[in-house]
Amino acid sequence: MSDCLFCKIAAGEIPSTKVYENESVYAFRDIAPQAPTHILVIPKAHIESAAAVDGSNSALVAKCFEAIAEIAKAEKLDGGFRVISNCGDDAGQTVHHLHFHILAGKKMGEKMV
Ligand code: AMP
Ligand code: ZN
């Protein structure tokens, strides 16, 4: 998608603070962190949201979660972390390229899962 912010970040056309990269996944620090550690994990290929995951692209979602586990180890998130993916307007999705927020470094409580 030529006008997609996260496609441009994954391609290096817009700067980001890289945390992790392999052939199919890119991860970078959120520009407006909501926890001491706030990392976004994306497939390099454009997928609109969790609602657009199907048999043709679900392997990329698995790759994202493999990356999440590696990032958690590298960032020493030993106290735990939360993974969130907002999907659609009611959830507050603002960037329409599938992404997983990793949030860690503070107690997040039990509200909203
Ligand atoms: P969501 O609201 O779930 O769609 O999450 C989008 C996230 O992208 C927000 O947490 C933003 O702070 C973050 N974001 C937007 N633009 C950038 C950027 N250029 N670099 C890093 N994070 C960004
Ligand atoms: Zn995209």
CA 55 / ligand 1 centre spacing (Å) = 27
Check pocket membership of 94 for ligand 1, CB cut-off 6 A: yes
The total number of residues written for the chain in this structure: 113
pLDDT tens per residue across all 113 residues of the chain: 679 999 999 999 999 999 999 999 999 999 999 999 999 999 999 999 999 999 999 999 999 999 999 999 999 999 999 999 999 999 999 999 999 999 999 999 888 78
Question: What are the catalytic residues?
Answer: 99
**Coil/strand/helix, residue 40:** strand
Task: Enumerate residues 6+ apart whose C-beta is below 8 A from 91.
Answer: none
Whole-model pTM? 0.97
The letter for the amino acid at 39 is I
